[in-house]
Amino acid sequence: MAYYKGQVGNDNKGKIVYNVGIVKGIVRLAVEGVEGVAISNKKSKKGDDIKVETSGDAISVKVSVNVYYGYSVPDVAYHIQQNIKHNVESMSRYKIGDIDVKVNGVIFPEDNK
């Protein structure tokens, strides 16, 4: 299990340790907050729909989603990136490096029954 560590304040008298599940939860909330996105709550066949990795001092995020019919794919992907960056950086002391958004497909109205 991975942990992300950070110092508390400038006096270095304590540490904050984030479990990878906490960061993934923040990312999931950010993704679900974007209109037009469908993200599964279950793991896909290839693995988890959200992957979080550290690269130096920054966190890299990879997200796989589906987009509902009628929404602009580039706009939805951009809003996902903006939400993830804002939420992770405001809810933790980490900086976001790369955010890769993979759109698996489009969900049409008849698929949404």
Domains of the chain, with CATH numbers? 3-112 (3.30.70.1350)
Count, in order, helices (H) and strands (E) of the chain. Answer: 2, 6
Dump pLDDT digits (tens) for 16-38: 777 788 889 999 999 999 999 98
Residue 55 φ then ψ, to 5°: -140, 95
Dump pLDDT digits (tens) for 45-101: 555 789 999 877 789 999 999 999 999 999 999 999 999 999 999 998 789 999 999
Q: What is the pTM of this model?
A: 0.79
- Cα of first residue to Cα of last residue in the chain, in angstroms, is 37
**Hey, what are 47's tokens?**
């693995």
User: What is d(CA 101, CA 63) in angstroms, rounded to the nearest whole number?
Assistant: 5
Residue type, 42: K
